[in-house]
Structure 1
Amino acid sequence: MKKIPEAVGPYSAFRKAGDFLYISGQIAINPENQKIEAITVEEQAKQVLENIKAILENNGLTTQNVIKTTVLLDNIADFGAVNEIYANYFVEPFPARSAFAVDKLPKNVLVEIEAIAYCGK
């Protein structure tokens, strides 16, 4: 079982309900030490997606099970850089996706991503 980051508040990192796995917004926490070590938006996006991948794998799923993601960015100018990293984790048919720039993210990170995965057959 892969390590996953602990939630940074009173919420679950993920919850399964019926045929769906809901993954809370993940930030660039290194699950080995629960610290944010990634500095650039690219490094942070990679760590976020690795965290999502670990949660999926711990639930017997892959990124191909993801049907929807929401990407939150500190700066919309980082959209292209995050998109390049994101493209390394998903294949066609790609998940539906929304992306927003927000005022601030937890722990002053640059990117946060949440996901919904389908667990049914």
Structure 2
Amino acid sequence: MDNIKRLEVDEFWADSTVIEAGDYVFVGYCMGNEGQSIEAQIEGAFCTLKNRLAMAGLKLDSVVKMDCLFKNISDLNYLPDIIKKHFNGKYPTRKAYTTDFIRDGILFQIDAIAYKGKAI
């Protein structure tokens, strides 16, 4: 398992928020701007995702899969315009879910998988 690198570890929650495994980077628990509007939280989550990808030397265009977690699924309507702004047509596959978050002020979170291998 030498090719698995845990780039960011949260000892309190006992998880890794960024793991590089072979040609892939797994990023979890991307949130930001807790307690603010859904638009601000989606933007904050993308900011966190960008920062975590940078730990592996990657940018958003390397993301191939995203899971988008919403407190209210009706907020999904805000997502496409924000994705278009950040991905410039290089969209990942994605799925949206609703969930109960651990704190009331959280409305949105992203988990993602990015490809780090050689260009095809």
Distance in 2 between the 1:20 and 1:114 partners? Answer: 13
Q: Which 4+ runs in 1 deviate beyond 6 A?
A: none
Alignment partner of 1:106 out of 91, 97, 102: 102
For the pair 1:43 / 2:40, whether they are aligned, the reply is yes
Give the Cα–Cα distance (whole angstroms) in 1 for the partners of residues 37 and 97 of structure 2. 18
CA contact (8 A) 1:21 1:117 kept: yes
Q: Residue 87 of structure 2: which of 85, 90, 105 is its match?
A: 90
2: CA distance between counterparts of 1:6 and 1:48?
Answer: 18
Alignment partner of 1:78 is 2:69: no
Q: Deviations over 1:74-108 (max 9, x none)?
A: 00110111332222211333101001122x12323
Residue 32 (structure 1) aligns with: none
Name the % identity. 27
Q: Do the aligned partners of 1:70 and 1:113 also contact (CA within 8 Å) in 2? A: yes
Name the amino acid aligned to 2:102: P
Instruction: Give the structure with the larger strand fraction.
Output: 2
Bigger radius of gyration among the two: 2
Output the CA distance in 2 between the equivalents of 1:63 and 1:91: 10
10-19 vs 85-94, greater mean Cα deviation: 85-94
Unaligned runs of 5+ in 2: 1-7
Gaps of 5+ in 1: 30-35
Residue 16 (structure 1) aligns with:
20
* TM-score, normalization by structure 2: 0.81
Q: Does the CA contact (< 8 Å) of 2:62 and 2:114 recur in 1?
A: yes
- Counterpart-to-counterpart distance in 2, 1:12 and 1:106: 18
Greater Cα offset, 62-71 or 106-115:
106-115
Shift of 1:6: 7.6
